[in-house]
């Protein structure tokens, strides 16, 4: 063997061993192309169940790869009080590992504060709480108001903020240069001299190692059915339901959202009033109106108190705030409160179930060690005993799931949930005629649930349960069932491919009856829905949709296509609803368009039922007597339909400015463009318009247009219209 090669290799061993030890200190990360990345990003993702979603790509600056040496330097800086002007406060003073990388205070204490966590005293009380740093690499923007684009930009703020660390960047660099250990660390991590940009780059690199993706929920989502307790499973069903609507903002797998929402959190009675800071992310309707980011719920059991100003001490208080309707429920004037924040009722058990599920999102397996010392020689924060964290983190036993599809047949008195779990991936559950009382979560792919026997089996929620069935897996079919008496919805499917509803009847199922959202490939046929407080058949944020040969009556809306692409609605009968058929674009949703919808061969007859929708919901604005409404949708073809006897209008084409408050800032095109209406049998509409239309001084008509949009065409000779002349 070449002696020079051997000597060189031996010389490299210490560096290799140090690098390996440092990598071991950051579990959950792997080295790829010289940088540390979360293992869930580095590996090819193949979801085991419909509950398991791919993590987004992290927000990483190209010039700041997350190398082991930059991470270790960032860890030392993070825990070193040398960053503050009086050398008393470190990043960890307000972002303590044992407190979910928060500080356990309703509002953080800045310059002059002593100690950490709930024991931190004195100093400047800030107006906002310290947000968690767990999974901050996935944040669309940083800070509660999104005023920083990256972790690097965010790290600059507290160091120089006069109320926080109050340090001058150049003086800090000068101080670091007097510490030989830091000089060496910066040279190894970056090369060259110390600079303020390198300081924040190192801190950001360290913060990108704070990943959490191996909670008991994640184990359950990967197919380990024993990872969650029965209480937590019930909480998960509530979390996914549109009774609670948690997942619509805190979506999987990050349990966060890139959007900024107005929910009406009250100002604290005992603290400083929040002050808007520029340049804040605009959010819904503009940042100054109180839009804040949707934070992650991962490790939320560790980060009390809650909200941007610490308004609520416990998760139970947070749940109560939402169930009471947010800020409006507290009597506050919140004109732009998010439409998803509505009142709902929970029993004490349901509230406990929901909180238990949020505890199951705890995972601190990648929590880095607090250094015994830092190069400045200043004191480092101490560990904080946290019994909540100890309770939230526990192991679960493994469960064997079927290796091949199974067919499970059940009758009344047997558990549909147990049957679905036993059938597993690609399995079929056959339900004999009779009545079943439960709500069911389907997480596996390829599942079919179908009724057999002389009459449809009935799933009855007794007006207590949230949703009948929640499906999350691809290739999901439900067939020949009756669902009735649920508070949330009938049959919901989230984010799946190839979904089929066939021969489903929904009666009195809460907000929606049939409800696929965020899906690709939806077929709804031969279904019947009645007595729901929003849309009987609702398809939202989806692509490649067919709704055909179905009946919807005595609902607020018969059928609604919202923010979808490529939809066919044909052969349906909508009667005695408030509005027969809606084709909508609504702002502040993941999908920003509703385009290429074909509406043909439908009957929209006598939709004159008074509106009984939630007064805080958009659907409550639909006037009684609406046959078909196009709201800001584009390229809709409407032909060969029978639209008759609707008392306000047969077809209305509107822009968002007809629905939303003046001055609202949208994230979608607010106008309907390129729609064509022709060859419909349309008569007898608009003869007794809704009082809200009359009050505005507007008439009822067969055709109604608010003059918004371009390229729209009406070819309906003989139909009454407002305005009297419409583009052809």
What's residue 206's pLDDT?
95
Average pLDDT, the chain: 89
pLDDT in tens, 187-240: 999 998 999 999 999 999 999 999 999 899 998 888 777 788 889 989 999 998
Whether residue 398 is predicted with pLDDT greater than 50 in this model: the reply is: no
> Which of 726, 608, 606 lies closest to 678, judged by CA?
726
pLDDT band at 315 (very low <50, low <70, confident <90, very high): very high
pLDDT band at 16 (very low <50, low <70, confident <90, very high): very low
pLDDT in tens, 105-145: 989 988 888 888 888 888 888 889 999 999 999 998 999 98
* Contact criterion met (CB below 8 Å) for 353 and 316: no
CA distance 629 to 627: 7
CB atoms within 10 A of CB 613: 21
Give me the mean pLDDT over the 486-507 stretch: 95
* Contact criterion met (CB below 8 Å) for 65 and 59: no
* Contact criterion met (CB below 8 Å) for 719 and 682: yes
What's residue 437's pLDDT?
97
164 a catalytic residue: yes
What's residue 324's pLDDT?
94
Tokens of 275: 């002050």
* Contact criterion met (CB below 8 Å) for 277 and 147: yes
What's residue 282's pLDDT?
60
DSSP string, 137-197: GG-SSBSTT--BSSHHHHHHHHHH-TTTT---HHHHHHHHHT-HHHHHHHHHHTSSS--HH
CA distance 69 to 62: 17
DSSP string, 520-577: EEEEEES-EEES-SSEEEEEES-EEEEEES-EEESSSEEEEEES-EEEEEES-EEESS
pLDDT in tens, 137-146: 999 899 998 8
Whether residue 30 is predicted with pLDDT greater than 60 in this model: the reply is: yes
Give me the mean pLDDT over the 250-269 stretch: 89
CA distance 511 to 506: 11
DSSP-derived letter for residue 621 is G
What percentage of the chain has pLDDT greater than the value 90?
Answer: 67
pLDDT band at 695 (very low <50, low <70, confident <90, very high): very high
CATH number of the domain at 22-213, please?
1.10.760.10
pLDDT band at 278 (very low <50, low <70, confident <90, very high): low
CB proximity list for 556: less than 8 A, separation 6 or greater: 532, 533, 534, 535, 577, 578, 579, 609, 611, 612, 613, 619, 620, 622
What Å distances lie between residue 717 and 603, 651, 652, 682, CA to CA?
19, 14, 16, 10
CA distance 45 to 409: 33
Instruction: Read off the pTM.
Output: 0.71
What's residue 719's pLDDT?
97
Whether residue 3 is predicted with pLDDT greater than 60 in this model: the reply is: no
The residue to which tokens 């947070």 are assigned: 318
What's residue 583's pLDDT?
98
CB atoms within 10 A of CB 17: 10
Whether residue 21 is predicted with pLDDT greater than 70 in this model: the reply is: no
What's residue 199's pLDDT?
96
Residue of 125, 152, 153, 164 with catalytic role: 164
Give me the mean pLDDT over the 356-385 stretch: 92
What's residue 598's pLDDT?
97
Whether residue 655 is predicted with pLDDT greater than 80 in this model: the reply is: yes
What's residue 39's pLDDT?
66
CB proximity list for 415: less than 8 A, separation 6 or greater: 438
pLDDT in tens, 562-615: 999 999 999 999 999 999 999 999 998 889 999 999 999 999 999 999 999 999
* Contact criterion met (CB below 8 Å) for 565 and 588: no
CB proximity list for 585: less than 8 A, separation 6 or greater: 562, 563, 592, 593, 594, 631, 632, 633, 634, 656, 668, 669
CB proximity list for 420: less than 8 A, separation 6 or greater: 427, 429, 440, 441, 442, 444, 447, 449
> Which of 74, 239, 90, 103 lies closest to 167, judged by CA?
90
Whether residue 399 is predicted with pLDDT greater than 50 in this model: the reply is: no
Using the CB atoms, write b or e for 191-210: b if 16+ within 10 Å: eeebebebbbbbbbbbbbbb
What is the pairing mode between strands 505-507 and 407-410?
Answer: unpaired
Phi/psi at 72 (nearest 5 deg)? -65, -40
What's residue 288's pLDDT?
45
Q: Which of 322-331, 334-343, 690-699 has the lowest mean pLDDT?
A: 334-343
> Which of 656, 652, 653, 654 lies closest to 667, judged by CA?
656
With both helix axes pointing from N to C terminus, report the angle between 230-240 and 348-359 in degrees, rounded to the nearest 10. Answer: 100
pLDDT band at 384 (very low <50, low <70, confident <90, very high): confident
* Contact criterion met (CB below 8 Å) for 234 and 242: no
CA distance 521 to 543: 6
What percentage of the chain has pLDDT greater than the value 70?
Answer: 90
């Amino acid at each position: 063997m070449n002696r020079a090669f051997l000597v060189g290799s031996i010389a490299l061993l210490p560096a290799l061993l140090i690098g390996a030890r440092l990598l071991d200190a950051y579990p959950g990360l792997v080295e790829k192309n010289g940088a540390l990345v979360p293992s869930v990003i580095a590996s090819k993702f193949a979801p085991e169940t419909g509950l398991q979603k791919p993590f987004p790509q992290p927000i990483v600056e190209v010039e700041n790869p997350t190398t082991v040496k930059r991470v270790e330097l960032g860890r030392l800086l993070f825990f070193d009080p040398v960053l503050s002007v009086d050398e008393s406060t470190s990043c960890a003073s307000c972002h303590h590992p044992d407190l979910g990388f928060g500080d356990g205070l309703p509002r953080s204490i800045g310059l002059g504060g002593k100690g950490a966590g709930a024991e931190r005293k004195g100093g400047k009380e800030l107006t906002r709480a310290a947000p968690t740093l767990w999974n901050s690499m996935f944040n669309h923007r940083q800070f509660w108001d999104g005023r920083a684009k990256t972790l690097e930009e965010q790290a600059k703020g507290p160091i120089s903020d006069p109320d926080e660390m109050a340090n001058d960047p150049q003086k800090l660099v000068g101080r670091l240069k007097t510490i030989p250990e830091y000089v060496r660390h910066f040279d190894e991590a970056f090369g060259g001299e110390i600079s303020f940009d390198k300081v924040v780059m190192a801190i950001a690199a360290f913060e990108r190692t704070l990943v959490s993706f191996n909670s008991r929920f994640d184990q359950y989502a990967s197919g380990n059915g024993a990872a969650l307790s029965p209480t937590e499973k019930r909480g998960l069903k509530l979390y996914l339901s549109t009774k609670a609507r948690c997942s619509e903002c805190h979506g999987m797998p990050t349990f966060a959202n890139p959007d900024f929402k107005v929910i009406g959190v009250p100002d604290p009675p005992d603290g400083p009033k929040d002050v808007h800071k520029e340049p804040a992310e605009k959010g819904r309707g503009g940042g100054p109106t109180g839009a804040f980011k949707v934070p992650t719920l991962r490790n939320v059991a560790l980060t009390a108190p809650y909200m941007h100003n610490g308004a609520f001490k416990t998760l139970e208080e947070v749940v109560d705030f939402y169930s009471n309707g947010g800020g409006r429920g507290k009597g506050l004037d919140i004109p732009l409160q998010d439409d998803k924040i509505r009142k709902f009722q929970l029993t004490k058990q349901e509230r406990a179930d929901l909180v238990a599920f949020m505890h199951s999102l705890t995972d601190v397996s990648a929590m880095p060690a607090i250094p015994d010392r830092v190069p400045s020689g200043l004191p480092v924060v101490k560990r904080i005993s946290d019994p909540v964290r100890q309770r939230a983190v526990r192991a679960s036993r493994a469960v064997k799931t079927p290796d091949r599809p199974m067919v499970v047949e059940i009758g009344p008195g047997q558990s549909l949930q147990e049957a679905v779990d036993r059938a597993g991936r690609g399995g079929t559950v056959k339900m004999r005629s009779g009545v079943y009382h439960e709500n069911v979560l389907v997480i596996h792919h390829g599942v079919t649930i179908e009724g057999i026997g002389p009459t449809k089996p009935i799933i009855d929620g007794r007006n207590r349960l949230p949703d009948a069935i929640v499906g999350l897996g691809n290739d999901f079919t439900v067939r020949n069932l009756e669902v009735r008496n649920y508070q949330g919805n009938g049959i919901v499917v989230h984010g799946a491919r190839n979904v089929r509803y066939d021969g489903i009847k929904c009666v009195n199922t809460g907000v929606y009856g049939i409800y696929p959202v965020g899906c690709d490939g939806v077929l709804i046929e031969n279904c019947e829905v009645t007595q729901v407080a929003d849309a009987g058949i609702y398809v939202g944020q989806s692509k490649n949709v067919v709704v055909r040969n179905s009946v919807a009556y005595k609902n607020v809306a018969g059928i609604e296509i919202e923010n979808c692409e490529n939809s066919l609605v044909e052969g349906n009968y909508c009667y005695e609803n408030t509005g027969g058929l809606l084709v909508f674009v609504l702002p502040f949703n993941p999908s920003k368009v509703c385009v290429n919808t074909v509406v043909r061969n439908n009957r929209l007859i006598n939709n004159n039922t008074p509106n009984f929708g939630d007064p805080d919901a958009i659907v409550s604005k639909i006037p009684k007597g609406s046959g078909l409404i196009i709201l800001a949708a584009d390229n809709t073809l409407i032909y060969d339909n029978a639209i008759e006897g609707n008392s306000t209008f047969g077809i209305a084409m509107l822009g968002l400015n007809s629905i939303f408050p003046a001055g609202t800032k949208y994230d979608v095109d607010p106008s309907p463009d390129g729609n064509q209406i022709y060859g419909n049998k349309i008569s007898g509409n608009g003869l007794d318009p809704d009082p809200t239309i009359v009050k505005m001084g507007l008439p009822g008509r067969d055709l109604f247009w608010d003059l918004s949009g371009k390229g729209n065409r009406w070819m309906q000779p003989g139909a009454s219209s407002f305005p009297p002349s419409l583009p052809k």
